[in-house]
Amino acid sequence: MHPLDSGELSFDANSIVDFVKTARLPLLDRLFESRALVSDFVVNELAAASIEWKQAQVVVLKAESELQLFEDIRRNNPPLGAGEVGAITVASLRRAGLITNDRQARRAASELGIPVSGSLAILRYAVEVGTLTGEEAVRLLSEMIVAGAWLSEELVDSFRRDVLKRQ
């Protein structure tokens, strides 16, 4: 079973933006219908960029214990912004996976035992479940890079080889 097959997923803004900038937010809706979560902190980051993801469930962190967990994660990971900390907090509280491309957020989540994936994993998953062909996924990745996503050439090459051999 693929890690993205079941359960809820808490999204950080950076991964959502990859799909918004390429006009592919509906792909996330299709793949993760009723399983996508965003913290209120991520919603605020997206709103500042005039982005709204209507299909995602917004999780407002308001209980004292939720805000304490948020502050604990923030204190232990000072480089992270409120959106990243909010996404990790929601993932921890809901026992969900985390979707982020931020290296420090990935490390912080892993230390908490939270499964982590990013935009590349979503594209790979879309190929595995037949939503995209390998060629479509490679093309979409290229569009993401042109739109500002940064990935090492090694990761991009590995991704291309992997999804194109699945054909």
43 within domain boundaries: yes
Q: How buried is residue 133: exposed, middle or buried, by Cβ count under 10 Å (0-12/13-18/19+)?
A: middle
Q: How buried is residue 15: exposed, middle or buried, by Cβ count under 10 Å (0-12/13-18/19+)?
A: buried
Position with higher pLDDT, 151 vs 125: 125
SS3 10: strand
Predicted TM-score of the model (pTM) = 0.94
Q: What is the pLDDT of residue 150?
A: 83
1 within domain boundaries: no
| Residue 126 and residue 79 share a domain | no
| Residue 102 and residue 22 share a domain | yes
| Residue 91 and residue 148 share a domain | no
pLDDT tens digits, 100-150 = 999 999 999 999 999 999 999 999 999 999 999 999 999 999 999 999 888
**Structural domain for 27, as ranges:** 9-117
2 within domain boundaries: no
| Residue 63 and residue 35 share a domain | yes
| Residue 88 and residue 26 share a domain | yes
Question: What CATH number corresponds to the domain at position 41?
Answer: 3.40.50.1010
160 within domain boundaries: yes
85 within domain boundaries: yes
| Residue 63 and residue 21 share a domain | yes
14 within domain boundaries: yes
| Residue 77 and residue 16 share a domain | yes
Amino acid code (one letter) for 160: R
| Residue 99 and residue 31 share a domain | yes
4 within domain boundaries: no
| Residue 88 and residue 21 share a domain | yes
Between CA 137 and CA 164 the distance in angstroms is 9
pLDDT confidence bin for 6, thresholds 50/70/90: confident
Number of domains in the chain: 2
| Residue 130 and residue 109 share a domain | no
